[in-house]
Amino acid sequence: MRALVDVSAKIGFGTPYELNHRELVPFRHDRRCIGDFEFLTLACFKELLGAEGEMEGYRCGLYFAGAKDTMRLDAELNEYLADKQDRVAALTNFSQDLNPLVALEWLTNIGLYLAVKEGIDCWRHVQYINHSHSDHSAVAAAVRDLSIGAIDVGFAVATLASSRRELVPEKVGAVGVRIIAGESLEAGDAFELSSRPQPELLLEMQSAHSALGPGSALAVELPVHEPAGS
Amino acid sequence: MVEVGDGDCQVAAQVPARDGNGYESSALRLLDFYQFAEAEALEHAGLDRKALISNQRVRVVVASHGFAWKTDEFAAASRGEKIDGCDLSPYFMQPVESAHQLIGGDFGDRYSGVGTACSAGLVALLEAGEMVRAGLADIVIAGGVETAIKEAMVTMYSRLGALTTLNDTPETASRPFDVTRAGFVGGEGAAMLVIESEQSAEARGVTPLAELAGYGTAVSTAHITAGSVGGEIQALAMQRALDSAGASTADVDYINMHGTSTPDNDLSESEGVRRVFGDAAPPVSSTKGVTGHLLGAAGAIEAAFSVMAIRTDTLPPTANLKEVDPRCKLGDYIRGSARHVPCSGVLSNSFGLAGSNASVFLRQL
């Protein structure tokens, strides 16, 4: 069995995209970064899902990589808190008009929510929060779970978003791959996974897959360290 | 008790510093918790950490909820200062990354940090199981660590209505399945388990404590910040755990419930168990009556309790459970004192806000 990337997607990261998240997401947000995150994740997922109903009947695994820049946001709140002696009271008052979602910070769970809203059958869901190589963990888990038959299709997605001007547009985006099991011997040289600062791995995979042309698949392999003495 | 301003909840199970001096940052506090649990687990398993670091067949998976921000950064952010050129929001950030980098630094990309809310501790064990099953690792140090008792955390959950309001009786405020339960009590702690392949254990000449026989996850989208009602999705996670182990309901002698002490979870989880087991559900209990809710670490510490149930043939009771909520319709909620009965199979549940549900089935070897 080989793990094959049959669909890849990249939104943003230097390519233009239209931010129109309020029409795409089912709940209200006043925080632009979270809106960006939702928009980017959903847009990426829609490309990975393929045609409507294509994933029906498949056991899917969702592997998200969070990105630290999504956590660095909201000068407004900092300004709001700056002169407050009682931060707890200030936070409480600040939160009163917000969606409960915003009171929690699970940005990657938003991705899960949006993905499952698309009607896929989720058998595995993990969000990786070790930020230095989260996308590597996500892709490796998808390949791993495919190889042992725990899932039929794996989605690995990394999203970076920020409302901060410090994060240049080239750094904002969502990139992901859809991985299936296959036996193709025409998939070209296998892409061997190795970690690097995220989301470079997924961006390289997406680029390598795109370079193969429409309808092509990119084989992916996990380096396996054999047990000592084997 | 913790002082949390004028919120509805003023109760939490906070763990004091080991040396009594406190910590420079929350990340270091989380690291200390982790190192304590890891050292205990490795000693119990007869493993040497230095040897593990250089062994490419060893991995580490740690779950956390994500409230371990640095107190200095929190304070700086509250003053409106920039950190690394960026504004930091103590409200939204998830800077547990700093703690994860401290914890996992020795293992490089063989380290994974997972965060799926309150199911994360079990998801870490699932990850470990899959790594071993796929032949990618012989040994995985897996579990969860949580140091979440922070004013902001308490405020957030209180705002969601998830925390107890039984402020006058903090010792008994966590009372899963009780008709008077009023929300969960936040807890802290760490639990690490050594997940090892059968071949590796045999080669080392050690006897495993129990088999991580099966695991299941199921995801719902009923609500982004609430658990799933009706128990259907929780039942799916439990059934998948049994199926993956090749087990039946008759193989389950005890269920360690997620049992948070929130009105909604305890009801829907009971309904989920009924969907799987019908009227033949085994005895159930929630150890959160004692520990409070360890959030991202809950699944790991409760898996450890489940292993102990198998090892000692002892089923723990639900502390502070006096009168079972009549809407919770399972037949045997263990209360009062522990029960000493043969126990060879345990199902352990962890269900998270936003609909991430996980169950594992542990079996006597």
The answer to whether the CB atoms of B89 and A73 lie below 8 A apart is yes
pLDDT at residue B141, rounded to an integer:
97
**Alpha-carbon distance B188 to B351, whole Å?**
17
**Alpha-carbon distance B119 to B115, whole Å?**
8
pLDDT at residue B256, rounded to an integer:
98
**Alpha-carbon distance A180 to B254, whole Å?**
37
What's the predicted TM-score (pTM) here?
Answer: 0.88
pLDDT at residue A130, rounded to an integer:
64
Catalytic-labelled residue, pool B9, B65, B100, B293: B293
Distance from CA of A7 to the nearest CA of B (A): 23
B-chain CB neighbours of A29 within 8 Å are none
Of B94, B354, B356, the CB nearest to A66: B94
pLDDT at residue B356, rounded to an integer:
85
Find the mean pLDDT for residues A148-155.
Answer: 95
The answer to whether the CB atoms of B111 and A130 lie below 8 A apart is yes
Residue type, B23: Y
pLDDT at residue B96, rounded to an integer:
47
Active site residue B293: yes
Task: Give the torsion sign (CA, B83, B100, B151, A70).
Answer: positive
- Please say if the pLDDT value at position A90 is more than 60: no
Cα–Cα separations (whole angstroms), residue A17 to A20, A118, A139, A160, A163: 9, 21, 25, 14, 15
pLDDT at residue B44, rounded to an integer:
97
Cα–Cα separations (whole angstroms), residue B14 to A131, B149, B164: 27, 6, 15
Answer for the pair B26, B70: CB distance below 8 angstroms, yes or no.
yes
Going by their DSSP bridges, the two strands A59-65 and A153-160 should be labelled as parallel
Give the helix/strand (H/E) hosting A156. strand A153-160
**Which residues does residue A121 pair with via DSSP β-bridges, in sequence order?**
A59
Answer for the pair A43, A174: CB distance below 8 angstroms, yes or no.
yes
User: In 3D, which of B212, B196, B52 has the Cα closest to residue B138?
Assistant: B196
pLDDT at residue B83, rounded to an integer:
46
- φ, ψ of residue B129 in degrees (nearest 5): -60, -40
- φ, ψ of residue A22 in degrees (nearest 5): -65, -25
Answer for the pair B95, B72: CB distance below 8 angstroms, yes or no.
no
Q: Which residue has the higher pLDDT, B109 or A82?
A: B109
Cα–Cα separations (whole angstroms), residue B68 to A122, B1, B89, B163: 29, 19, 13, 19
**Alpha-carbon distance B6 to B13, whole Å?**
18
Percent of chain A with pLDDT over 70: 60
To probe the interface with B, which of A55, A60, A71 has the most B CB atoms within 10 Å? A71
**Alpha-carbon distance A144 to B131, whole Å?**
7
Q: What is the mean pLDDT of each run of 10 residues along chain B (365 residues)?
A: 60 82 70 92 96 95 67 46 43 48 80 87 96 96 87 67 90 97 94 97 97 93 68 96 98 98 95 97 98 95 98 98 98 97 98 86 97
How many degrees, rounded to 5, is the angle at CA B199 between CA B197 and CA B204? 100
pLDDT at residue B184, rounded to an integer:
94
User: In 3D, which of A189, A59, A205, A194 has the Cα closest to residue A121?
Assistant: A59
Cα B91 to chain centroid, rounded: 23
- φ, ψ of residue B280 in degrees (nearest 5): -105, 35
pLDDT at residue A6, rounded to an integer:
95
Q: Say if the ipTM goes beyond 0.85.
A: yes
A-chain CB neighbours of B131 within 8 Å are 144
Phi-psi region of B97 (alpha: psi -120 to 50; beta: other; left: phi over 0): alpha
Q: List the single residue in A with minimal CA-CA distance to B136.
A: A224
pLDDT at residue A46, rounded to an integer:
84
Q: What DSSP designation does B103 have? A: H
- Verify cis geometry, omega within 30 degrees of 0, for the bond prior to A199: yes
The answer to whether the CB atoms of B221 and A116 lie below 8 A apart is yes
A–B: how many Cβ contacts below 8 A?
210
B-chain CB neighbours of A225 within 8 Å are 56-57
To probe the interface with A, which of B70, B94, B154 has the most A CB atoms within 10 Å? B94
**Alpha-carbon distance B310 to B296, whole Å?**
23
Of A68, A75, A130, the CB nearest to B104: A130
pLDDT at residue A70, rounded to an integer:
39
The answer to whether the CB atoms of A132 and B101 lie below 8 A apart is yes
Using a 10 angstrom Cβ sphere, with 0-12 exposed, 13-18 middle and 19 or more buried, the burial of residue B323 is: exposed
B-chain CB neighbours of A134 within 8 Å are 113
pLDDT at residue A19, rounded to an integer:
55
Active site residue B118: yes
Question: What is the tens place of the pLDDT at every residue in A50-72?
Answer: 888 889 899 999 998 865 443 33
The answer to whether the CB atoms of B134 and A77 lie below 8 A apart is no
Give the helix/strand (H/E) hosting B277. helix B263-277
Answer for the pair A114, A49: CB distance below 8 angstroms, yes or no.
no
